[in-house]
Amino acid sequence: MLTLQNKHTAAKLVSAAASLAAVAILIRKITKNFMPSEVHGCFSSSQLTIIIEEFQAGVAVNKLFEAADIYLGADMAGSVRKVKVLKDRKEKKMEVTMDRNEEMTDVFENIRVKWTLVCKEAKNPNGNLDLQSEERSYELSFSKEHKGLVLNSYLPYILERSKAIKEGNKALKLHTVMSRSWQADAINIDHPMTFQTLAMDSELKKALVDDLDNFINGKDYYRRIGKAWKRGYLVYGPPGTGKSSLIAAMANHLKYDIYDLDLRAIYNNSDLKLLLLAMSSRSILVMEHVDCMFNILQSQEEDCSWAPRKNQVTLSGLLNFIDGVWSFCGDQGRIIIITTNHRDKLDPALLRPGRMDMHIHMSYCTVSAFKQLAFNCLGVRHHPLFQQIEGLISKVEVTPAEVSGELMKSKDPGTSLQGLINFLCNKIKEDGGEAADDVEVDFETSGVRSYELSFNKKHKDKVLNSYFPYILERAKAIKEESKVVKLHAVNTHHGCWRDAIILDHPMTFQTLAMDSELKMALLEDLDNFVKGKAFYKRMGKTWRRGYLLYGPSGTGKSSLIAAMANHLNYDIYDMDLTGVRSNDDLRLLLLAMPSKAILVIEDVDCDEVEAENQVTLSGFLNLINGLLSCCSEEQILVFTTNHREQLDPALLRPGCIDMEIHMSYCTMSAFKQLAWNYLGLYDHPLFEQIERLMGEVKVTPAEVAGELMKSKDAGVSLQGVIEFFHKKIEQNEAKAAKDNGSTKGLENI
C-alpha cells in the first residue's frame, strides 16, 4: 500500500516524464521543420534514402527512373490513394503511374522499402518554354542495414522486371522510310499471323522456329565466337505463297519491330548508313522484292548517264555496311530478311553464308500447308474429301492464297472442300493436265483538363481490369452510332488526303438495282466479313477483303460502292493512282487510312501513270499485299473496271481480289427493283412484254432508270420503256446492216 510520501514521489516522476516527452516532441518538430535535411539525416541514421531523378544532368532520361515508373505502375499497392491512368491510342494496355507526392510500400526478400514520387517546380531562369515545367524524382527509403541488398539485388531486379513488363505491353511497330529517314510516327503492326496458323511446309516451319529460338537465346554464344549477333534470312517463292505473312509471324514470335527499307527512297550510301544506325536493337530489317529494287536503281543509272543520278545506293554498299560497323552497334539481336520472287536473279554476293544464313523457299501449296489452312478456315483436321484434295494438289501448282480464297467461300466444310476440288480440277485442265473425277484515377488528356474517378480501394482491380475496358468499348460503340459516312480524296499537290466531305448518297441494298441472287451473295459476304474478326485472327490473315466490280458503263458500279459504304457505315477513300506522285506518297496515303474504311480505285485499267509520277499498279500491289497489310484491319478494297480482260493477272489473284462482281446489263430482277424505286409497284401487265424485250436487247440499269423517271404515271412510264427498247432494237439492226454492207463492199474490192 502506497504511503502519502510515496504518492508525492510518484506524482513528481510522472510530471517530470511528461515534461521530458513534451520537450522531445517540441525538439522533433523544430528538427523536422527548420533543420536542413543533411543534418536531420544524422539524427535518423538508421534509414537511407536513394534519390532517382527523371533526367540525368537535366537532359538524358534516367533508365532507372523509367524502370521504377513501369515496375510500380504494374502492381500498385493498396497504400496508394491516387494514381494516374493513361491510354495511348497506339499502345495495347493502359499505363498506370503514381500521382505526385504519393507514397507506396514494397516488399522484396522480406525487407520493406518505401517509394515516394517527389515533384517540384523546375528551375527555369531563362524562361525557356521547351524545358520541363516540373522536376520529378523517386525517393526510395529503407533501413541502412539493407543497403547492399537494395543496390545489388533489388534495383537490378526492378530493371529486369520492368523490361519484361514493357515487353509484354509492347505493341509491335512498323517503321518505313520517308524523306530519307525513318518516319517519326511508327504505326502498330496488327497482323494476327503466328507460326501456329501459318500455312507452310511443317518441317520447314519447325526448322525455322528452332533457328529463331536458338538465335534469340544465343547472345552469349555469338559473343563467345566473336560474331555479330545478327541473322539473315532469304525468303523466296512465287507471289501468293505467304512471304509477307511469314515476316509477320516472325515479328510476332520474336516481339520485334519491323523496319521496312525501300532502297528507292534513299539517295546515297550516306543516307543508308544513317537509316541503319537509327534502327533499334532486337528488330527486323526487311527488304522486299530486292531483285526489283536493284534492277530499277541500275536502269536509272544506265538510262541517263549524262544526268545527275537520283539514287546512288548499291548492293555492295548495303552489304558492306550491314557486315561492318552497323552489325556491332547497340545490343544487336537484329534480323535481316530479304524477299524475292526470283532467287536466280540475285547477286551471289548476297547469298553467301554470314549474310543470308537460312534460305526459306515459300513454295506452292503442299499437303501439310493445305491441312493447316483447312483447320484455320473450317476448324477441321480430317475430312473424307482430304484424300482427293491431296491427290489433286500434287498435280497442280496452286498457291496457299488461292487455296485459302476457296476455303473462305463457305463455312460448311463439305461445300467449301468440294468447291476447292472443283477449283483444282479446273486449274489442272487449264494447265493441260487431266483432273480426277469429281482508388482516385486521374485521366490526363492535357495539362489543363482531367477526370477524377473515385471508388473504394477494394474495387481497384475490378475498375482497372473491367470498368475501364468497358468504357473504351462502349465509347467506341457510341462513336460508331453517331458516325457520318465521309468521302476522302487525294490532294495531289501535298500527297495526302483532302479534308473529307459528308457522303450523302441515299443508295442502299434495298434500292440497288442488280441481280437479286448476286446482291444476296454480296450482302452475306459483307456481313461475314464484319463479324469475322475472330475468324481472320484464327486464320492468321489480315482482316481485309478485296472486291472487283466490272461491267459496262452505267451498270451501277459507283452506286454499289455507295450502298456498301452505307451498309457498313465505312468512310470511302477514293484513290486516283494518276494523282499520286511516288511510292512515298502512296505509302503515306495508305498508312493514313483508318480501320473501318473502303479504299476505292475506279477504272483501274485506265490508270496510266504520267511520266513524272513514279507509282505503278505493281508498286501499289506490293504495298497493300506486303508489310503495310500488317498495320491496319477491317478495311475493304474495291477496284472497278469496264474491261476485266485488260487487267494485270497479279491484281486478280486471291488475297487481293476475294470476290468478283459482274455488274451486267439490266436483268429482270434489277428492272423490278427500279420499277419499285421509281413507280412504287412490284407487278404490272406490261412487265411480261418488257421482260421479253429485255431478252432481245442489252440496256443498262442507268438507261432504264432514265426512262422510268420521265413520268410518275406507271402506265405512261412503262410504255416509254417499251418504246425505248423498240428504238434500241431498231438502232442495233440498222447498225448491224450497215456493218454487213461495209463488209460486203470490202469483199468486192
Question: Per-residue pLDDT tens for 294-332?
Answer: 554 444 444 434 334 456 677 667 777 777 666 666 667
Cell numbers found for residue 15: 510530471
Whether residues 179 and 165 fall in one domain: no
Task: Determine the pLDDT at residue 638.
Answer: 93
Least Cα distance to 337 among 236, 198, 266 occurs for 236
Which of 148, 169, 190 terminates a domain? The answer is 169
Residue type at position 597: A
Q: Is 367 inside any structural domain?
A: no
Q: Is 350 inside any structural domain?
A: yes
Distance, in Å, from the CA atom of 726 to the CA atom of 747, rounded to the nearest integer, reads 32
Determine the length of the chain: 749
Distance, in Å, from the CA atom of 350 to the CA atom of 606, rounded to the nearest integer, reads 38
Whether residues 506 and 642 fall in one domain: yes
The answer to whether residues 371 and 386 touch, using CB atoms and an 8 Å cutoff, is: yes
Q: CB neighbours of 389 closer than 8 A, spacing ≥ 6? A: 370, 417, 420, 421, 424
Whether residues 90 and 198 fall in one domain: no
Q: Is 64 inside any structural domain?
A: yes
Least Cα distance to 591 among 174, 276, 251 occurs for 174
Task: Determine the pLDDT at residue 90.
Answer: 56
Cell numbers found for residue 27: 525538439
Which of 662, 678, 700 terminates a domain? The answer is 662
The answer to whether residues 104 and 80 touch, using CB atoms and an 8 Å cutoff, is: yes
Whether residues 564 and 676 fall in one domain: no
Distance, in Å, from the CA atom of 469 to the CA atom of 204, rounded to the nearest integer, reads 40
Q: Is 697 inside any structural domain?
A: yes
Whether residues 646 and 678 fall in one domain: no
Burial of 139 (0-12, 13-18, 19+ CB in 10 A): middle
Least Cα distance to 200 among 369, 394, 403 occurs for 369
Burial of 488 (0-12, 13-18, 19+ CB in 10 A): buried
Task: Determine the pLDDT at residue 211.
Answer: 94
Whether residues 505 and 646 fall in one domain: yes
Whether residues 500 and 627 fall in one domain: yes
Cell numbers found for residue 345: 536473279
Task: Determine the pLDDT at residue 628.
Answer: 67
Whether residues 82 and 200 fall in one domain: no
Task: Determine the pLDDT at residue 742.
Answer: 61
Q: Is 395 inside any structural domain?
A: no
SS3 411: coil
Distance, in Å, from the CA atom of 640 to the CA atom of 346, rounded to the nearest integer, reads 36
Whether residues 184 and 269 fall in one domain: yes
Task: Determine the pLDDT at residue 14.
Answer: 58
Q: Is 37 inside any structural domain?
A: no
Number of structural domains the chain divides into: 4
Scanning the structure block, which residue is given the C-alpha cell 503466328?
194
Whether residues 508 and 599 fall in one domain: yes
* CATH number of the domain bearing residue 192: 3.40.50.300
Q: CB neighbours of 48 closer than 8 A, spacing ≥ 6? A: 141, 142, 143, 144, 147
- The low-confidence residues of the chain, meaning pLDDT below 50, are 39, 41-43, 125, 129-131, 296-309, 436-438, 440-442, 444-447, 609-611
Least Cα distance to 577 among 492, 450, 682, 469 occurs for 492
Which of 607, 629, 662 terminates a domain? The answer is 662
Least Cα distance to 108 among 136, 68, 137 occurs for 68
> How many of the other CB atoms lie within 10 Å of CB of 573?
24
Distance, in Å, from the CA atom of 483 to the CA atom of 474, rounded to the nearest integer, reads 14
Q: Is 184 inside any structural domain?
A: yes
Q: CB neighbours of 82 closer than 8 A, spacing ≥ 6? A: 98, 99, 102, 439, 440, 441, 442
Q: CB neighbours of 181 closer than 8 A, spacing ≥ 6? A: 271, 274, 275, 278
Residue type at position 197: T
Distance, in Å, from the CA atom of 415 to the CA atom of 422, rounded to the nearest integer, reads 11
* HSE, side-chain direction, 13 A CA sphere, residue 514: 28
Whether residues 150 and 193 fall in one domain: no
Q: Is 21 inside any structural domain?
A: no
Task: Determine the pLDDT at residue 253.
Answer: 93
Domain boundaries, position 159 = 47-122+133-169
Cell numbers found for residue 144: 541502412
Whether residues 214 and 161 fall in one domain: no
